[in-house]
Amino acid sequence: MNVRPAEIKVLSTHALYEVLRALAPAFERASGRRLSCAFDPTKAIGRRIETGETFDVAIVTRRAIDELAQRGAIVAESCVDLGRSGLGVSVRKGAAKPDIATVENFKQALLAAASIVRSAEGASGHYFEELLDRLGIGEAVRGKIRIGQSGRVAELVAGGEAEMAVQQISELLPVAGADYVGPLPAALQLYTDFAAGIAAACQARAAAQALVAMLAAPAARPLFEANGLEPAIR
């Protein structure tokens, strides 16, 4: 009879999707445990944990990790900074890429776009709404914004449902059928820091620690960079 290996359950933001997928085989070989990952925006993960969902490792924003540690859901001493991601823009594959290199050019690209999709719950979506008012184009642009569901909003661009997507770079890069344009201008950029922590109720602490260590190791740096994440400075 085949015995299914014990698993390490991870609740992670979509920003680390590609990194976790790439590291999973090496972790499973080294630990003898299956890596089971569920992906959601940070706020949704917080709600899942609040309602009692069991997990071993959480990967969310640094602020959320600190809050979970304060509530006792995460072991404070286990929290490790992993990296950060800025915001960028994608368009449908093959479409002309707008010039977004300067604040004024980015502003004009938003005004010219027929439709723009942003995330529903992620930090990028809420920041983008504030940014429109900061640029003085809220009234002109807000009517053509679409709200993407949980996950990669550039998928709507790839499917022809929107012309432009604004989201964290790590969530834009992997989307087939969409072309990454570039990051927001430095003066408008928002970076989100991500961290990992081990659940207080984790029954496989050594394996969970090994996973977090693998994510934080210098050897993982090229993988983070290839997927639009700047590794944490330690």
Instruction: State how far the Cα of 34 lies from the Cα of 57, in Å rounded to an integer.
Output: 13
Q: Do 7-84+192-231 and 87-188 show the same overall fold?
A: yes
Q: Which CATH number fits domain 7-84+192-231: 3.30.470.20, 1.10.645.10, 3.40.190.10, 3.40.250.10?
A: 3.40.190.10
Instruction: State how far the Cα of 220 lies from the Cα of 223, in Å rounded to an integer.
Output: 5
CATH number belonging to domain 87-188:
3.40.190.10
Instruction: Give the residue from 79, 137, 86 showing the smallest Cα distance to 113.
Output: 137
Beta bridge partners of 9: 36
Q: Where are the domains of the chain?
A: 7-84+192-231, 87-188
Query: What is the residue-level pLDDT of the chain in tens, covering all 234 positions?
Result: 444 569 999 999 989 999 999 999 999 999 999 999 999 989 899 999 999 999 999 999 999 999 999 999 999 999 999 999 999 999 999 999 999 999 999 999 999 999 999 988 777 888 999 999 999 999 999 999 999 876 789 999 999 999 999 999 999 999 999 999 999 999 999 999 999 999 999 999 999 999 999 999 999 999 999 999 998 865
Backbone angles phi, psi at 99, to 5 degrees: -80, 115
Instruction: State how far the Cα of 67 lies from the Cα of 137, in Å rounded to an integer.
Output: 34
Query: pTM score, two decimals?
Result: 0.88
Strands 192-198 and 57-61, bridge-based pairing? antiparallel
